[in-house]
């Protein structure tokens, strides 16, 4: 790593750590991810040279994937398996919500891209889809859409959801109402080393085969497989989990450069407003689905929210809200969106 880049990464980490410590002292919701996210986003938009390390971000996703996978004991896995119908409804809801969001954005796309119907359709469709930012941007590029508008839409959506939903749930007093316990609860140094090595191999294989979100999903699958088999190697130390949240918060915050706020202001305003509408409607859907499935509504609100998989799973873990259920819903939705969203666009089914 060049010295200048190392200096920027170190300074950004120092800023994030100081902010996280302050937020923890103030007892704010999710201090180790929201504090760094807000601080680095603000610093980036002010033009300061913030920098996120890709390796640290990948390591953070790996740690969170392992920590969440440890919740999938055989009993919990059986419970989640019985919710297959609810997961399918959640996937259908995400597809419908993304289509509606894309339709909302379409008039603004026409404003920025006059005279190019194909480009307009691709941009609005993939900007509205409830999928990963990098994956949706890549699909938009393949379809001839405006990648800058798509990337901006997804970055802002993740920011709005990550900043508002945990705070709203905490303010409502619903945190801690649906706690789950991981299989292993004791940190065993040798077991943690073996668990980490296995997670790294799984993540590396996912990355080599071009899978989406490989460092999170790969580690999650390895930890899930071991826990479901009754193999308990070690718990994840809380300090390590906090550090992982910190680097993930940084990776989200540094996306918001000074030029970001000058990228089609009306487009960004529409994305922000549309995201709030999606949050409210998804919350209502989650409450209804929770009632049908006999699950706590707060858990289902997180499971069906239009946020990022890692951020929503972290929220469930920290706020003690049905971690395995939220993780299962978010992972299945991510996979389904990646598999279905492009074929549906090509066939014109959801335009």
The model's pLDDT over 203-256, given as tens digits with 9 standing for 90+, comes to 999 999 888 789 988 999 999 999 999 899 999 999 999 999 999 999 988 888
Query: DSSP alpha helices (H): ranges in 173-303?
Result: 189-208, 214-228, 238-253, 265-293, 297-303
CA distance 244 to 58: 9
Q: Is the pLDDT of residue 156 over 80?
A: yes
Amino acid 178: pLDDT: 66
Contacts of 308 (CB under 8 A, 6+ apart): 132, 133, 158, 161, 162
Per-residue confidence at 85, pLDDT binned at 50, 70, 90? very high
Contacts of 201 (CB under 8 A, 6+ apart): 222
Q: Where are the domains of the chain?
A: 54-347
CA distance 233 to 275: 40
Amino acid 351: pLDDT: 47
pLDDT: which is higher, 300 or 148: 300
- Residue 309 DSSP SS3: helix
Say if CB 300 and CB 153 are below 8 A apart: no
Per-residue confidence at 94, pLDDT binned at 50, 70, 90? very high
pLDDT: which is higher, 214 or 107: 214
pTM, to two decimals = 0.84
Amino acid 176: pLDDT: 65
- Residue 321 DSSP SS3: strand
**What are the pLDDT digits (tens) for 5-36?**
899 999 999 999 999 999 999 988 889 999 99
Amino acid 122: pLDDT: 86
Amino acid 164: pLDDT: 92
pLDDT: which is higher, 347 or 4: 4
- Residue 78 DSSP SS3: helix
Of these ranges, 143-147, 183-187, 228-232, the one predicted with the greatest mean pLDDT is 228-232
Q: Is the pLDDT of residue 200 over 70?
A: yes
């Amino acid at each position: 790593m060049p010295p200048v880049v190392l200096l920027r990464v170190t300074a950004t980490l120092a800023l994030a750590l100081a902010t996280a410590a302050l937020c923890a002292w103030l007892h704010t919701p999710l201090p180790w991810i929201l504090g760094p996210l807000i601080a680095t986003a603000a610093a980036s938009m002010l033009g300061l040279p913030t920098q996120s390390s890709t390796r640290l971000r990948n390591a953070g996703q790996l740690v969170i994937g392992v920590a969440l996978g440890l919740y999938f004991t055989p009993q919990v896995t059986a419970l989640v398996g019985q919710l297959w119908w609810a997961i399918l409804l959640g996937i259908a809801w995400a597809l419908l919500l993304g289509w509606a969001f894309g339709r909302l954005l379409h008039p603004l796309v026409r404003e920025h891209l006059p005279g190019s119907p194909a480009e307009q359709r691709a941009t609005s469709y993939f900007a509205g889809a409830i999928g990963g930012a990098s994956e949706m941007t890549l699909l938009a590029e393949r379809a001839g859409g405006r990648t800058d508008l798509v990337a901006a839409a997804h970055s802002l959506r993740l920011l709005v959801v990550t900043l508002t939903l945990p705070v709203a749930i905490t303010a409502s007093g619903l945190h801690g109402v649906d706690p789950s316990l991981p299989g292993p609860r004791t940190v065993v140094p040798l077991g943690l080393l073996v668990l980490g090595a296995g997670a790294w191999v799984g993540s590396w294989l996912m990355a080599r085969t071009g899978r989406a979100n490989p460092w999170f999903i790969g580690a999650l699958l390895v930890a899930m497989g071991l826990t479901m088999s009754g193999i308990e190697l070690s718990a994840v130390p809380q300090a390590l989990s906090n550090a992982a949240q910190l680097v993930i918060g940084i990776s989200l915050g540094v996306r918001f450069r000074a030029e970001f706020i000058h990228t089609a202001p009306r487009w960004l305003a529409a994305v922000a407003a549309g995201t709030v509408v999606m949050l409210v409607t998804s919350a209502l859907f989650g409450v209804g689905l929770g009632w049908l499935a006999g699950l706590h509504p707060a858990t289902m609100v997180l499971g069906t929210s239009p946020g990022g998989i890692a951020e929503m799973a972290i929220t469930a873990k920290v706020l003690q809200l049905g971690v395995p259920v939220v993780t299962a819903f978010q992972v299945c939705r991510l996979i389904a969106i990646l598999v279905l969203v492009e074929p549906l666009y090509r066939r014109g089914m959801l335009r």
